[in-house]
Structure 1
Amino acid sequence: MQLKDKVAFITGSASGIGKEIAIVYAKAGAKIVIADLNKAAAEATAAEIAATGAQAIGVGVDVTDEDQVNAGVEQAVKAFGGIDILVSNAGIQIVHPVDEFSFADWKKMLAIHLDGAFLTTKACLKHMYAQGRGGSVIYMGSVHSKEASVLKAPYVTAKHGLIGLCKTVAKEGAKYGVRANVICPGFVRTPLVEKQIPEQAKTLGITEEQVVKNVMLKETVDGEFTTTDDVAQVALMFAGFPTNALTGQSLVVSHGWFMQ
């Protein structure tokens, strides 16, 4: 099994992409920590995974709160003996034009996406370095780590920022065998994306169908949404890669929207 006995701490994983990654990791033999703002949902998802025979726990964590992040990581270490994989996945979306974006919402977006990534990385690296068995840090970026869209200034800014954090962690972690990489999905039809469709339709003055066809999927090669499994399979590759040959990289998973 590719991740046998590896301990994976996955934020924002009670649902959506994070949950799919947790399920795929569990099937690959990992011990799973479902870290989510909604503790009850985290525990429910962990129970669902445990029912398949895997080992999993749920912890309540606000990734913008350093004390909660540290406590959640320590709870994971106490339960499973260490941390081998961090998937920094927690995120939200708020859409407005720049001239209408409140400073409070701007700060909220950056806090969850960037501060959360920094705090969880810092807490997990301490254990990865001390364990002496390497590790993998995986950030959930976006095509918006490479490209911009209207109405999403803080999201685009934060997702670009994750690439810089990743590259630094890759360089600092190399001597400890710790790799860092970014997954950059296109639009995945999760609740976060579903919420955007009517919001963008209203703001842009078009139908929801036009948002999907002419905004979200316009630049794909096949008019298809990226799936949670598409993303989870890339997360599995990054987590299980055995050397520093694959580190400091960002991989776009988007049905051809933005090609490198």
Structure 2
Amino acid sequence: MARFDGRVAIVTGAASGIGREIAHAFAAEGAIPVIADLNLEAAEKTAQEIRDKGGEAMAVAMDVTDEAAVDKGVDAVAEKYGRVDILVSNAGIQIVKPLVEFDLASWKKMLAIHLDGAFLTTRACLRHMYKANYGRVIYMGSVHSKEASKLKAPYVTAKHGLTGLAKTLAKEGAEHNVSANVVCPGFVRTPLVEKQIPEQAKEFGISEEDVVRKIMLKDTVDGEFTTTGDVADAVLFFAAAKNCVMTGQSVVVSHGWFMQ
């Protein structure tokens, strides 16, 4: 018997990158991943990849900053499968700019996607989890949930905020057998990170190679990027918890960058 036989796992931002890897990992262990993404066409492509391997998957169009869209999407999942067992709040973007130059619109956009999105998807899923007396909520944090870097003020702020949300849900959700945890990756070579390399090279006046070596991987123990598979393993670890013994905790997946 697979770890997640029949469990329904909503993964936001799952059409690509880390989210896609998580969806495939859940499917490989018997879960039904729901690919929730702003890009429905890309979400459907990921869902079809899973079906082609013999799994079950559902694609849902979801702007995580849109209250009505989130509620509608989550309710559609519950209506189709009769349950929502797991939420992985993964959707996110990055805007790199010095704090003094950050415009308010960009600041609000960053916080809306990372924090409002986590709140709205959590609330929508809890309505179903509480009724079932079961739920596993995992937020995609970052080493920046623990540390800070230049040029990333709203991202660092939002990722720190997710740890507070998880701790609060851990206390509120316990009586309903709902746990909450945060997975905090280091740099993963996704399109989101690839985009930052030339941006930071320009801002700091250094080569792209130096951005990777002297900024991104400087504090790792071995100069290695974290992989999407590494992150998926950590997410599934928390999702498989039999009870709330580990609730409210975060784990850093970063080749030693930031040690607790």
TM-score (norm 2): 0.99
Length, aligned pairs only:
259
Q: Distance in 2 between matches of 1:72 and 1:13?
A: 14
**Is the contact between residue 180 and residue 249 of structure 1 (CA under 8 Å) also seen in structure 2?**
yes
Once the two structures are superposed, the pairs formed by residues 167-178 of structure 1 within 5 Å of their partners are 167-178=167-178
SS of the residue 1:256 aligns to:
coil
CA RMSD of aligned residues (A): 0.5
Conserved in 2, the CA contact under 8 Å of 1:188 and 1:228? Answer: yes
Deviation at residue 32 of structure 1 after TM alignment: 1.1
1:142 to 2:142 alignment: yes
State the distance in 2 between where 1:38 and 1:84 align. 23
Cα contact 1:31–1:80 (8 A) shared by 2: no
**Cα distance in 2, alignment partners of residues 50 and 145 from structure 1:** 34
Q: Which amino acid aligns with 2:40?
A: K
What SS is found at the alignment partner of 1:87? strand
**1:173 counterpart letter in structure 2:** G
Q: What is aligned with 1:220?
A: 220
Q: How does 1:90-169 map to 2 (within 5 A)?
A: 90-132=91-133, 134-169=134-169
State the AA in 2 paired with 1:130.
K
Q: Which runs of 4+ in 1 moved over 3 A?
A: none
Partner SS, residue 78 of structure 1: helix
Cα shift readout 1:47-84 (whole Å, capped 9, x = no counterpart): 11111111101011000000000011011112211100
- Does residue 196 of the first structure (1) align with residue 196 of the second (2)? yes
TM-fit CA distance, 1:189? 0.2
Q: What are the within-5 Å matches in structure 2 for residues 18-33 of structure 1?
A: 18-33=19-34
Residues 121-174 of structure 1 show CA distances to partners (whole Å, capped at 9, x for unaligned) of: 000000000112x11000000000000000000000000000000000010000
SS in 2 for 1:10: strand
3-state SS, counterpart of residue 32 of structure 1: strand
Deviation at 1:105, TM superposition (A): 0.1
Unaligned stretches of 5+ residues in structure 2:
none
Give the whole-Å Cα distance in 2 for the aligned partners of 1:32 and 1:152: 31
Alignment partner of 2:88: what SS? strand
Within 2, Cα distance between the matches of 1:236 and 1:142? 16
> 1:228 Cα shift?
0.2
CA distance in 1: counterparts of 2:12 and 2:190, whole angstroms: 16
What's the CA shift for 1:5? 0.5
AA matched with 1:215: I
Q: Is the 8 A contact 1:224 1:255 kept in 2?
A: yes
User: 1:42: Cα distance to partner?
Assistant: 0.5
- What SS does structure 2 have at the residue aligned with 1:251? strand
Q: Deviations over 1:92-116 (max 9, x none)?
A: 0000000000100000000000000
CA distance in 1, matches of 2:33, 2:82: 12
Q: How far, CA to CA, are the matches of 1:59 and 1:106 in structure 2?
A: 27
Check conservation: 1:220, 1:255, Cα contact below 8 A: yes
User: Per the alignment, in what secondary structure is the counterpart of residue 9 of structure 2?
Assistant: strand
Q: What SS class does the counterpart of residue 160 from structure 1 fall into?
A: helix
Instruction: State the 1:251 CA deviation.
Output: 0.4
In structure 1, the residue corresponding to 2:189 is in which secondary structure?
Answer: coil
